[in-house]
Amino acid sequence: MSRYAVGALRIGVNVVDKILTLEHKETVRLDPDRLNGLYRQLGDKNALDVLCRTVEELAVRLSNCERFWRQRDWAGLRKCARSLVAIADQIGMVALARVARDVAQSVDARDAVATGATLSRLIRVGEKSLTVIWDQQDLSV
């Protein structure tokens, strides 16, 4: 511990030797049965079209959730998170739907700290989910 004198007051300062960085790694879960069902029901071309539009819509809504958070628009954030639940459920993005549900619940509980934390997790899970489904389905722009 180092000590610095300021006038007659002594202030103790702790020196940290090592700083740890926490790395968030999210595991995403996709329900392959849901995706397979979509392909069986619509056919390959139509299912791929629906999937492409859905992935784009999820990306827009994740961005909107973040914007609503910054604006402190709780009603908008809740509505956007709930819509993410519905869309993610339709294509089998189980983890994304669950975390979006958690965001809506924390908004309902009026817990800004929990909402911020779960929203951060939603963004991480959302980005990872979109990447996984994009890669899995070989979706190209």
The predicted-structure confidence for 85-122, as pLDDT tens digits, reads as follows 999 999 899 999 999 999 999 999 999 999 999 999 99
The Cα angle at residue 67 between residues 127 and 25, in degrees rounded to 5: 25
- pTM value? 0.77
What is the b/e burial string over 67-101, where b = at least 16 CB atoms within 10 angstroms of the residue's CB?
Answer: ebbeeeeeebbbbbbebbbebbbebbbebbbebbb
Handedness of CA 72, 75, 79, 85 (dihedral sign): positive
3-class SS of residue 41: helix
Question: What whole-number percentage of the chain has pLDDT above 90?
Answer: 59
State both tokens at 119: 């929203």
Nearest Cα residue to 137 out of 92, 98, 95, 97: 92
State both tokens at 69: 């958070």
Give the pLDDT band of residue 132 (cuts 50, 70, 90): confident
C-alpha 35 chain-centroid distance: 20
Cβ neighbors of 73 (< 8 A, separation 6 or more) are none
Class of residue 50 by CB neighbours under 10 A (exposed 0-12, middle 13-18, buried 19+): middle
CATH, range 32-138: 1.20.120
Hey, where are the domains in the chain? 32-138
**pLDDT at position 10 over 60:** no
